[in-house]
Chain A
Amino acid sequence: MALLPTETPLGSAESGLAFLAGAPYPVLVLAADGAVVHGSGSAWNLLGRPAGAEGEELAEVAPWLLEAHSRLCAAATVRRHRPGAPAAETAVRGVIAGAEVEAHPSLRADGSVVWWLVGDTDRGLAAVVERERWELLARLPGLLLNSLNVDRCLETTAQQAAAHLADAAVVVSPHSGRALRFVTCLRDGPPVRGQVRADPAAVPGLAEALQGFPPVPSRWIDPETAPNWLLPEGLTAVGAVSVTPLPGHGVPAGALVLLRGPGHGAFTPSEEVFARLFAARAGAAVSAAVMYSEQAAITDLLMRELLPPRLEHMNGADFAGGYRASVDRDRVGGDFYDVHPAADPDGETLAVLGDVCGKGLEAAVLTGKIRNTLHALLPLADDHPRLLSLLNRALLTSHHTRFATMVLASVRRQQSRVTVRLSAAGHPAPLIVRADGRVEVSRTHGSLVGALPETTVVSDTVVLAPGEACVLYSDGVTEARGGPLGDAMFGEERLLHALGECARMPAEAIVERVLMLASQWVGGRRHDDMAVMVVAAPQGTRLSAAGRYGHGGFPA
């Protein structure tokens, strides 16, 4: 703990030996002739002799010490006459009452010598504790920052605090609402989460510590006042309790409650310093986790509106969609698809797949606007040209400079067949996979939306027999660059060929196949957003349950 004294404060013999009263080690002061000038209580304990014993007794218990003393005094005499002579104040080792002891001399001006007697066990233990603490402080940020999860962070804090600071630790979560949430941990035990409906103000200092501002110092409280929930199961009795705020840099980061068993009082000053450093690191990590989870929650909420919907069987036709954003980091991009089921089973369901110029979040935000506008225009869905023209006007008048391409597909079940009315606005024409493996390109074409004052579109109607499918896709699929040789485009030819192998396949299998081939084609290279949607005429009855898990992809 305290550093080993290497130098005794110099003073004349008259100044007395008062400074030895607070000595951290057993200490003996021997006159140049070997007489005992002073011995601390602990030194006499160590020697196993009553206080005030004489030099002769010392010779019996620790002859090596007396020998070293005379050597040192002799050398000191020589040095006094020849200042260049080597100093001899080196520590010596020996055994006293069976225990290894290291004796550190320091020469005093009057020729007497102060001998610090350091038991190896004491010094070893103290050094180990000290080293462990500093190692922990170095390791702690790593332990804490690895997880950006608030609960994990609190668990780690509780565990490390219990292991190094106290017999048990309780970390109270900064997110405590009406109920206080906390993690308790006994030394060497697992962290245990708990919550309780309690007023933090009942624990002195806790409410202030949880608020995070204004800063409050840690304080020791009367163990009697600690409520039961604060006492971890397994801790039989409590000797001391402290409440320390975790400083969160503007974000409340919670509070650390340390509990020590009976017989342990408050911290020593060095323990206090260590506890404060510990709390600072834990607070920084918890506040980072708090900020991360708040940001992630906001992103998720906003993203939910932009994520492609989960498609299934609707009004007698099978729908399936798949999406791969250009940036792996994002889950959304400039491609989108939607299905708006008809109000009645015999009505027309409107499916849309489109592509906004650009990629990333900015493009995704515009897809959200287009999807909303289309939703509002649904009553006009039976007139594709009109719908596209209204959408075009809406996009032109918005402040976005981006344009979009899209395919509208109005789907209606008629007995066993499915009729699909298609309108492609500046978008690759949908492909029709026939039951015999033929793949046809639909004959719809038209101008893109959001660029020109007027739009034109030529629609096409296709009829799907059971097992046949209509495939809508974005150009991210056909323009995917890669392949085994690295630089070829996936291209429409390859897509047609791949779809030729997809005859009679279920809608979601076709989507998966196309996305898989295109993804494998690009390998790890950069690519544009890719979207695929398939409308299929069912071959048989479908199992009713859509499943609790989405098909492919990853949910929000």
Chain B
Amino acid sequence: MTAVRTVPPPTSELTATVDRLWEAVTAGSEEAAGAVVFGALTAGAEPESVLLEVIAAVQARIGREWAANRLTVAEEHAATAINDRVVAALAHHPVVRDAVRAGPRGRVTVSCVDGEWHAFPARLLAQVLALRGWEVDYLGAQVPTPHLIARLHRTAPVALALSASLAPRLATAHSAISAAQAAGVPVLVGGAAFGPDGRYARLLGADAWAEDARGAADRLAEGLVAPLPAHQPVDDLPHLADQEYTLVRRSAPRLVGAVMSGLAERFPAVRSYTEAQLQHTAEDTAHIVDFLGAALYTDDPELFGGFLTWTAGVLTARAVPTASLLAALEVLGHELRDLPRAVGLLDHGRAAVASPSAVPATVPHQYHGNPA
């Protein structure tokens, strides 16, 4: 479902279409964007390829350009909204309607994890599944888990495809996965939150993981086996017994406050920050605490290290020195000195930021409210 992240190299013909769609979308022209996509369809491109190799490729580029500070938040939102409408309109195009294979294969529910605003990958998957003849129940972004589960009880789908792009959603995803399985519905997960190789999907006991929409559709076509009941979520993660995750989650606002005063002590410049600058810094700090929580939940230092190196990259693109990031980690280390796992993670994180070659090539998380 991370069609946004991993896109197979498109054919040269489609590459040209990607460029034209990119231009239309960044110019804010819905009409032009529609013309590009419908033109490709009429010229004989496969609807699935248009979705995954053109529209998804453009969406990935939107994320990259935002991370590199070459798109403003507004531009990025506008581009995403247009892409979203293109996907919606595409479903009604005659070529697509003809391409929908005689179904129905069965019902599949596609949903985002509670708190997840990045609906685009899930939406793409919903479209691809509809193209392949599934009856798709698309619930969209930000679905409260009780609704999701009530829905599963009512409709009893063959499978639930669950999308999450941010690692701090993993705990919520975990409860949704086990609740769906308890209801007898096998769960396929996807999205950047589950790690590049789906390692957190296995950790959280998901029945299947897919790298992208195509992989998810193939995996669903193979069929998922109904999960065994009587599975307690806590059995997946025995390390949670130390309560460190819960403690860090509960004290997150206090931790952010401590980091803010710690930064003001160390960096005189912080004391003269504007209200908006202070808020940005506090928000960034809150994200660090969120990812620390996710790393505690999964017991994976790489998760925290990867996030921090990516954050360092984003901060560098916005001309913020990484010294403040290191200082924030130090303050957190002091505040959490009684929690051995958290201290270990913070040490690992500091080492990752300090190592100059650590900036990852890909964008692991788009955490600044890009609803793509």
Which residues of A are in contact with B by a Cβ distance under 8 Å? 139, 142-143, 146-149, 151-152, 156, 292-293, 296, 324, 328-329, 331, 483-487, 494, 497, 501-506, 508-509, 512-513, 516-517, 519-520, 524, 539-555
Contacts and interface: CB of A to CB of B under 8 A. Distances in A.
A549 B276 contact: no
B74 to A, nearest CB: 5
Given A293-B153, A497-B276, A545-B92, 15 more contacts: A293-B154, A328-B145, A484-B256, A485-B256, A504-B78, A508-B84, A513-B77, A519-B115, A540-B30, A544-B89, A545-B91, A546-B88, A549-B91, A549-B126, A552-B141
B82 A506 contact: yes
A554 B88 contact: no
B41 interface: no
B19 to A, nearest CB: 20
* Among B73, B138, B152, B154, residue most surrounded by chain A Cβ atoms (within 10 Å): B154
Given A503-B74, A552-B140, A142 B91 contact: no
A32 B89 CA distance: 96
A130 B260 CA distance: 66
Contact of A517 (B80, B89, B369): B369
A505 B81 CA distance: 8
A146 B81 contact: no
B85 interface: yes
Nearest to A328: B144
Contacts of A503: 74
B31 A516 contact: no
A152 B369 contact: no
B28 A504 contact: yes
Given A520-B369, A548-B91, A296 B257 contact: no
B103 interface: no
Nearest to B282: A484
Contact of A509 (B77, B126, B156, B257): B77
Given A147-B153, A149-B156, A501-B72, A506 B81 contact: yes
A554 B140 contact: yes
A296 B149 CA distance: 12
Nearest to B184: A147
Contacts of B139: 554-555
A281 to B, nearest CB: 14
Interface in B113-133: 114-115, 117, 119, 123, 126
Interface in B272-291: 276, 279, 282-283, 285-286
Contacts of B87: 547
A483 B88 contact: no
A230 B111 CA distance: 38
Nearest to B38: A543
B340 interface: no
7 contacts: A143-B229, A147-B156, A293-B153, A502-B77, A513-B77, A552-B140, A555-B140
B34 interface: yes
Contacts of A501: 72-74
Nearest to B252: A486
B142 interface: yes
B327 interface: no
A152 to B, nearest CB: 5
A403 B117 CA distance: 33
B156 A548 contact: no
A552 B117 CA distance: 9
B80, B126, B155, B229 — most chain A CB neighbours (10 Å):
B229
B344 interface: no
Contact of B30 (A329, A542, A547): A542
Contacts of A506: 30, 78, 81-82, 85
Nearest to B181: A146
Contact of A552 (B28, B30, B77, B119): B119
Nearest to A543: B89
Interface of B: 28-31, 34, 72-74, 77-78, 80-82, 84-89, 91-92, 111, 114-115, 117, 119, 123, 126, 138-147, 150, 152-156, 182-184, 229-230, 252-254, 256-257, 260, 276, 279, 282-283, 285-286, 369, 371
A517 B139 CA distance: 20
Task: Count chain B CB atoms within 10 A of each CB in A484, A501, A512, A546 and give the residue with the most.
Answer: A484
A271 B261 CA distance: 73
Choose among B77, B140, B150 the residue with the greatest number of A CB atoms under 10 Å from its CB.
B77
B156 A543 contact: no
Interface centre among A156, A485, A503 (most CB of B within 10 A): A485
Nearest to A509: B81
Contacts of A486: 252-254, 256
B371 A516 contact: yes
Nearest to A538: B30
A523 B277 CA distance: 21
Nearest to B114: A328
Contacts of B73: 501, 513
Nearest to B81: A509
Nearest to B280: A484
A520 B81 CA distance: 20
Contacts of A550: 140
A543 B285 contact: no
Given A147-B153, A553-B140, A547 B371 contact: no
B120 to A, nearest CB: 11
Nearest to A505: B78
A551 B143 CA distance: 13
A331 B77 contact: no
Nearest to B77: A509
Nearest to A539: B28
A296 B142 contact: no
A485 B91 contact: no
B143 A554 contact: yes
Given A484-B253, A504-B74, A541-B30, A328 B369 contact: no
Nearest to A494: B279
A547 B89 contact: yes
Contacts of B147: 328, 331, 554
A556 B257 CA distance: 40
B356 to A, nearest CB: 29
A38 to B, nearest CB: 50
B371 A549 contact: no
Given A152-B156, A516-B371, A547 B74 contact: no
Given A501-B72, A504-B28, A554-B143, A549 B78 contact: no
Given A328-B146, A506-B81, A540 B141 contact: no
Contacts of A148: 153, 183
Contacts of B30: 506, 540-543
Contact of B184 (A152, A329, A519, A547): A152
Contacts of A519: 115, 117, 142
Nearest to A300: B154
Contacts of B229: 142-143, 146
Contact of A149 (B85, B86, B153): B153
A501 B73 CA distance: 7
Given A502-B77, A543-B30, A543-B86, A553 B142 contact: yes
Contacts of B92: 545, 547-548
Given A146-B182, A554-B147, A541 B371 contact: no
Contacts of A331: 147
Contacts of A147: 153, 156, 183-184
B31 A540 contact: yes
Contacts of B140: 549-555
Contacts of B253: 484-487
5 nearest interchain CB pairs? A547-B88, A486-B253, A484-B282, A484-B286, A509-B81
